[in-house]
Amino acid sequence: MKTLSIRLFTLCTVAFLAFGIIGCNGGSGERAGKEVDKAVESAKETIHEATK
């Protein structure tokens, strides 16, 4: 059981570091996030205009 806990901890640590490094490079994930933000803002404005 102790070995399983150590392996699980190691796996989680490696995954956390890997995703952190990927997220910090400002690549396609960041661009996609910005596009989603723009789409949400556009939808908000459209709904606001439609409900006037």
Check residue 26 and give its pLDDT.
Answer: 60
DSSP label at residue 1: -
The pTM score is: 0.47
Across 23-39, average pLDDT = 74
Check residue 22 and give its pLDDT.
Answer: 65
Domain map of the chain by residue range? 2-50
